[in-house]
Structure formats: C-alpha cells, structure tokens
Amino acid sequence: MKKIYSCVLLLASLLLFIMGDGAKWNLNEVPLFHEQPATAFAETIQSKPFITEREFEQVVTLTQNQPMYMKQENLVRIGELQANQAVAIIGEDEEYYEIRVGKMPAFIRKGQAKVEKNVIKAPLHAERLGAVKTAEETPVYSEANRESGILMQLREGYRYPVVQEENDWYIIKVGERAGYIHKSSAEMDEGLPVLLYHQVLPRKLMETEMSTISLEKFEEQMAYLANEQFTTLTSQELYDYLEGRLVIPEKALIITFDDGLLSSKKYAYPVLKQYGFTSPHHIISSRLDRGKGAPAFDGGGLLKYLDAEDLKEMTDVFQFEAHTCALHELGIESGAGLVFEHSEEEIIEDLKLNLHHVPSAISIAYPYGQYNDEFIAAAKEVGLLIGYTTVEGYANMDRSNYEVNRFGMTEKRSFKDFATYVDGDMRWP
C-alpha cells in the first residue's frame, strides 16, 4: 500500500513538473484524495434549471380574456386566462379547450383564438409543493417580474396548487406553462380542516363524554359552518387536493365519522342533510348487525350500530368508507391495537372483507388512530388512497396521504376551539 501511495505522489510530482512553474496543484481536486460531500448530489439537482422551453403541438393564444372553469357537478369559474398568452391544450370538444392547472383539467370556452405548434416555458415537473390561498383576485405573471405580462387572474377565495417556490414567487403550472404568483398577493395554505366525530346524542341521553358530542353542540357547529358558507369535501376530493389535482374553495373542510354508530343516523344525518353537507363515514363491517335488541344509545354499555339497510338509506349524505372488519379491537395483553398482532397479509384479508360491505371506499380510518408500515402497505394493496389518523392538525401536503391529520370533536371541546380550527387559525407547538 505504501508503494502505491509513493507511486501516486511521484506521478503527481512528475505532472507538476511537466505543467510548469505557473501551475497550481491541489490534491483536494484529485478524486483519489477528495471525499465528495454528501450534499453534492442534491446541490447538483437543485442547480439544474426548473423551467425549460418545450414545444407543443397545440398551443392556444386567445384574442380576448376568457373565464377558466373546473368541472364538478356544474362548471365552476376558477379564474380568467388573459389575451395574448400562449398555453398548451390537452384536449377539446365543440365548445371548450381543455388545459391543465397543476394536474387538474380546466376548460376555456372557444372563441377567437389562434391554435398552432409553439414553444412555451414549462416547469420540468408538476410535483406538489403545496397550495396557496387567494384573499382577492390575484394576478399570475408570465415571468418572475411584476412588470411582465399577466398570464391569468386567479379567483378570490380559492386554494390553488403550486409546484415550486422561488425567492418572492410561487410557481403555478397553467396550460403546461410556468406562471408566477407574488408572495405578497397570496399566502401558503396551512391545509384543510378534517373534523372527527363518533357519537352524537341529545345531552339528556349522554352517559359519558368519551368520543361523544351532544346534539345541541353538533347543531351549533353545523350552523356555524353553514352561516360561514363552508363547503364539505369527500375523501376523493381530499385526495385530489393533496395530489394537486383540484382547486378548492378556501372555506372547505371534511367532516368524518368513525365506527358506524346508529346515533349517526338518528341525530347527525338529519342535521347534515339540512345544511347540504356530506361526510365520509368509516364502517366496522363486523359490527353492522351487532347489538340488536340492546338499548339503542347506551353510551356506557353496548353501542348499537348501523346495519346494511341503514347504509343504503343514507348515501345522499354519507360516503361509507373503511374502518377494518374485525381489527377494531385492543390486544388483551398488550393493550395496543389488534392490528399490531397481524401481518400485512392478514390485514389485507381483513380489509378485503371490510370492502365487501363498503365497495366504494377510497379511505381508511385507522382503529384508535394506530397504524404501522404494514397497515399502510395493506391499505395501498387493496386500493385505498387516504389514511386518516387521530393526530391533531390540518390535512396538507407536508405529510403522506396515508397519515392525514384530524381534529376530534367531543363534548369537552369548546366552540372557540372548533371555530379557530375550521377557520384555519389553530396552531400547535
């Protein structure tokens, strides 16, 4: 080894001699002696340009401003594309051009426009960074310069997916093109409120406050959401939002129920229906017929559950989701969730049984909020897209889609806490 090292030094000296007196020799520049920093690869990636020029077969340039829509039950206006700004088309019909905002299809009514092959400045990827909220109509510039032309105007009161942050700008993808939102005109989205309920009972019937909220308090909360014009989302819409495939109102949230208790039919369902709200409801399928003949709403004893017919009657309000078939139990010895005593394959089989009763499910609520890597892998294997936890917080793009935060609602929770949370102002240490 010493001989090899000596030979290398001799070779280095010879090269230095050949290069002449003016040469500067730094052994740290020679790979043999230089230990590459661990951050070098990341720095190399980050140094590559995020925006590149790409040619598209169909690029439309409008001659006048046109509203831009997203398609739900009806077309919803989400902004206005400006004249003389080129964006790529991904489809069209007799009446509309189809483009993308982030990963979401958006539609522009056909009018006076030029469609041709063209080159536009496009982001190299459309991966989610997060979303921004607009408090007023917000310009999207064609360059990172407020003197540049305006590409589109975003509508007030919505959350839009962004793909990159660059100095004073957020970058949004519009028609495969990079658009720039100045940070002074929009704020980063903290995420969506996700409420968690179990049992809803009239106060006079309550025997415990554990996982229970009074009907009176529930009605007060739902009235607040209606008066403040909140929109309720499904688990599918939450997934699309988290993936950058959906523009949603700033005042949006998810109301979830767990366990499939009969009280949700008698008390929660009418209130939700009154206000036009919907809710993912997570069902423990092994309990669908449990407790027949027992007291209907005995909070301190055996709880009564929905049955298969109840599920059919309430699909106008509830989307019935997964909560396992027979794993919503605690281990006798460990006291931890029963799921920890089962393999991934066993969890998959349980979830398949659960999905037999809720075949449209796309989300899972983890029993007692407990899960592990095997549970997540099993949920993915059976095609579930969202995993709800009991960790307090907002649903945002900082966490995995299989680790969605929620905020539990019981009688002990104050109305002030409820309002602070749904208004997006709750903070945790």
pLDDT of amino acid 174: 96
Cα separation values, 160 from 72, 230, 268, Å: 16, 17, 32
Residue 4: per-residue pLDDT: 44
pLDDT at residue 126 in the model: 63
Q: Residue 374 corresponds to which tokens in the numbers above?
A: 């095997």
Give the pTM.
0.84
Task: Please write down the long-range contacts of 166-173, taking CB distance under 8 Å and 24 or more positions apart.
Answer: 166/50, 168/144, 169/144, 170/129, 170/132, 171/50, 171/123, 172/101, 172/102, 172/132, 172/140, 173/100, 173/101, 173/102, 173/122, 173/123, 173/126
pLDDT at res. 293: 60
Q: Can you give the pLDDT at residue 128? A: 73
Q: Which residues of the chain have pLDDT under 50?
A: 1-47, 299
Q: So what's the pLDDT on residue 302?
A: 53
Q: Using a pLDDT cut of 70, give the percent of the chain over it.
A: 86
d(CA 249, CA 324) in angstroms, rounded, equals 32
